[in-house]
Structure 1
Amino acid sequence: MEIAAAAWRDTKRPLWPLALVVPALPFVSLLLATVTNGAWAWWLTPVVILGVIPAIDLLIGDDRANPPEDAVPALQASRYYRWITYLFLPAQYAALIAACGVWVAGPGPAGAAALVLTAGLVNGVAINTAHELGHKRESVERWLSKIALAPTGYGHFFVEHNRGHHVRVATPEDPASSRLGESYYRFWARTVPGSLRSAWRLETARFRIRSRSPWTWRNDILNAWAMTALLYAALTAGFGPRVLPFLLLQAVVGFSLLEVVNYLEHYGLLRQRTATGRYEKVDPRHSWNSDRLVTNVFLFQLQRHSDHHANPLRRYQSLRTFEESPQLPAGYATMVVLALIPPLWRRIMNPRVLAHYGGDATLANTMPGFRPPG
């Protein structure tokens, strides 16, 4: 929905700093745990992200307003929006350091489980910040993207997402596009190694074209992984080897959160082949979207995913919603929970995929061997 430029104001401008609530939550838990001496406090972050935010999302509803195009240049140039993404990183790292301190102090079994989920969820959400930064041309933002990826050890995402997923999205060749009938757990087992292999092939090919060895600090995968190694080494030096299991476990939670978001973004959607045999151009029909206001604020409008794929350099504050984009029944926070329960996910999403293709499952990106009922 377009609004006249003269009358338009970014009504979400004061809301964007709410994205920083996520890395602030562990400090609230730390305060509560200190005051009450209760390990239950470390469940605050999982409860807020997976419970409270979806509930508020449902109550607040949708925001379908788009910025007018002649307002976009000034909106894109505003440093205010960039600094919000920049500030996420020191908050993310401070939360991780605090969590390491609690871990080595021994929070008990229940507290340890909650602590892994807390750090993993914060660093998983940070991958979304890395995603926003990594698409930009500015060198500083691209390096900040790798820094945000370091706690989860998922630095190869910087290569695979930008140069792999965006090229092959909504095709069977894309390891990050889920298929109709494929559970999240089956998708996870396919996409985690598949995305790593794809990233390495893409990066080594870049050096092969220049007749250079990929074993250099200029390799975007190796320098990103080096950041993880340095971070883990520094934390191990500071907190002792007992912190290593925590770092590895929270990393798995973090990149698994990324992959569950990948799972729901293109589930069952397929770009058709043209008469030339090539896939059609990516358009708004090839991404699941959600206009739920609250989750869009917390995720830098990641849910306006169609516009992101059409215009990957467009900054989050300028992303638009499109009428032709297939819509999820809820925001990402809710859909993440549903994706973890395959029977419920299939009951809700499979009919939507089929309806998107007029009931013709042959037009969908379908898991081999899967036959939809009816």
Structure 2
Amino acid sequence: MNALHYLKFFLFHLVGLFAIAAILAGGAWITLALITIVSVYLVGDAVGGDDTSTPTLNHPWILTTHLWLALPLLVLLVFAAVWSVSTTDFAGFGAALSQLSGVDLLAARESTSIGHHFSAWILTGLMIGMLGTITAHELIHRTWDPISLFIGRCLLAFSFDTVFSIEHVYGHHRYVATPKDPATAPRGRNVYTHIVKSTIDGNLSAWEIEKKQLARKGKPVFSWHNRVIRGHLMSVLLVILAFAIGGIAGMLFFIACALWGKALLEIVNYMEHYGIVRNPATQVQPRHSWNTNKRLSSWTMFNLTRHSHHHAKAITPYQDLRPFPDAPMMLGGYLTTIVIAMCPPLWHKLMAPKLLAWDRDYANAEERELARQANASSSQPALQKATA
């Protein structure tokens, strides 16, 4: 057994533990941790190259344990974040940890400025996206495993997005790269519009999917059988717990972090599928998603980066996903691409040639016509000029 191929996925947990330690330390440590994590990803993916290996791993239980450990890690991180903005010391947590560590965490919390609390919001939302949504994305595809499904939905509750376990599996994977898919942004749409529209349409889609499934089973829509309702109640419970731990300030802070975590999911959806077109009657192929094989992103995000293979065969466990180096490639690693996507003028400037290359090199004849229509209505001069 090559231990490295198992240990590399623990880098994910080290990032989470580092964030927890910084939030508890308070003050400038929070901002420093945020800058460090973002910098490591940006630089690491830039200089670390691609990982195109697909080793055979014979102990899948270790790899599943990696995923399951994300739940207690996220619980601890969110607890620390809510505690960090509280004016009380819930259950004497800070006093006990101060005595154990020899660091006065209560005094550090009191001296934390608004600016560093802002950094804590960015960092916590980022961790909800990484520890919660990325892990949940893998777990909710394991529809044969009730434990993984339950843990996945618990993780998604932290971003108010348990409906993702319905819409993503039964909607997105069916309609990806078509107008019926809320997660696929058409050419010319900016990421901020996409966050709002994809969130609304994704919830509506999940409700319709669940309503049809309940009808087939003869179950009432407005009942405990409805996973949409149960899922939202899970998020409500977390809001109540945040209030119990941190009062009004803690509750509002958690809500802000959860919404930021949800926004990150939609940004990732945006950059994974932006502008790609497909006839719904044709099978999903690796060319219908943007891919990347950046080493650091792959190792710390359970190979979410290998998105082309994931969409070609969704039930493939993360450790078995192939790199597909000939698939259409993103602008960089995941965090790099997120940063670029959040600057619409830069995003559209850099993506226009990539879309035109996709039309030329990947699209079949039918898709080229769909792409031509998409370019014409994109409002992007570079795309419209190419169409003309």
Structure 2 vs 1, CA of residues 86 and 112 (structure 1 numbering), >3 Å: closer, same or farther?
same
8 Å contact 2:185–2:275 — kept in the other structure? Answer: yes
Q: Which amino acid aligns with 1:328?
A: M
Q: Which amino acid aligns with 1:333?
A: L
Q: Which amino acid aligns with 2:134?
A: N
For residue 85 of structure 1, the aligned residue among 37, 52, 67 is 67
For residue 45 of structure 2, the aligned residue among 40, 51, 57 is 57
For residue 21 of structure 2, the aligned residue among 15, 28, 53 is 28
Distance in 2, matches of 1:222 and 1:303, equals: 31
Residue 99 of structure 1, CA deviation: 0.9
For residue 46 of structure 1, the aligned residue among 28, 34, 44 is 34
Residue 190 of structure 1, CA deviation: 1.4
Residue 324 of structure 1, CA deviation: 3.7
Distance in 1, matches of 2:33 and 2:140, equals: 26
8 Å contact 1:146–1:158 — kept in the other structure? Answer: yes
1:183 maps to 2:190: yes
Q: Deviations over 1:330-362 (max 9, x none)?
A: 111100000001111112111111111118974
8 Å contact 1:181–1:350 — kept in the other structure? Answer: no
Q: Which residue of 2 aligns with 1:353?
A: 355
After TM superposition, the score normalised by the length of structure 2 is: 0.85
Distance in 1, matches of 2:44 and 2:160, equals: 32
Q: Deviations over 1:127-161 (max 9, x none)?
A: 01011111002000000001111111111111111
Q: Which residue of 2 aligns with 1:302?
A: 304
Q: Which amino acid aligns with 2:86?
A: V
Q: Which amino acid aligns with 1:147?
A: C
**Secondary structure of the residue that 1:370 maps to in structure 2?**
coil
Q: How many residues align?
A: 351
RMSD: 2.1
8 Å contact 2:85–2:246 — kept in the other structure? Answer: no
Distance in 1, matches of 2:331 and 2:241, equals: 43
Distance in 1, matches of 2:162 and 2:74, equals: 16
Distance in 1, matches of 2:294 and 2:203, equals: 32
For residue 141 of structure 2, the aligned residue among 103, 128, 135 is 135
After TM superposition, the score normalised by the length of structure 1 is: 0.88
8 Å contact 1:25–1:44 — kept in the other structure? Answer: no
Distance in 2, matches of 1:46 and 1:222, equals: 34
Q: Which residue of 2 aligns with 1:19?
A: 12
8 Å contact 2:51–2:298 — kept in the other structure? Answer: no
**Secondary structure of the residue that 1:241 maps to in structure 2?**
helix
Q: Which amino acid aligns with 1:196?
A: N
Distance in 1, matches of 2:217 and 2:71, equals: 34
Residue 41 of structure 1, CA deviation: 1.8
For residue 374 of structure 2, the aligned residue among 342, 366, 371 is 366
Q: Deviations over 1:12-52 (max 9, x none)?
A: 3221100112321222314543xxxxx22222443234322
8 Å contact 2:23–2:30 — kept in the other structure? Answer: yes
Q: Which residue of 2 aligns with 1:97?
A: 79
**Secondary structure of the residue that 1:358 maps to in structure 2?**
helix
Q: Which residue of 1 aligns with 2:314?
A: 312
8 Å contact 1:49–1:333 — kept in the other structure? Answer: no
Q: Which amino acid aligns with 1:132?
A: E
Q: Which residue of 1 aligns with 2:324?
A: 322
Distance in 2, matches of 1:241 and 1:152, equals: 18
Distance in 1, matches of 2:23 and 2:120, equals: 10
Q: Deviations over 1:187-216 (max 9, x none)?
A: 112111111111111111111223321222
Q: Within 5 Å, which residues of 2 pair with 1:77-226?
A: 78-105=60-87, 107-125=112-130, 126-136=132-142, 137-226=144-233
Q: Deviations over 1:96-125 (max 9, x none)?
A: 101111111463321221121121111111
1:263 maps to 2:270: yes
Q: Which amino acid aligns with 1:318?
A: D
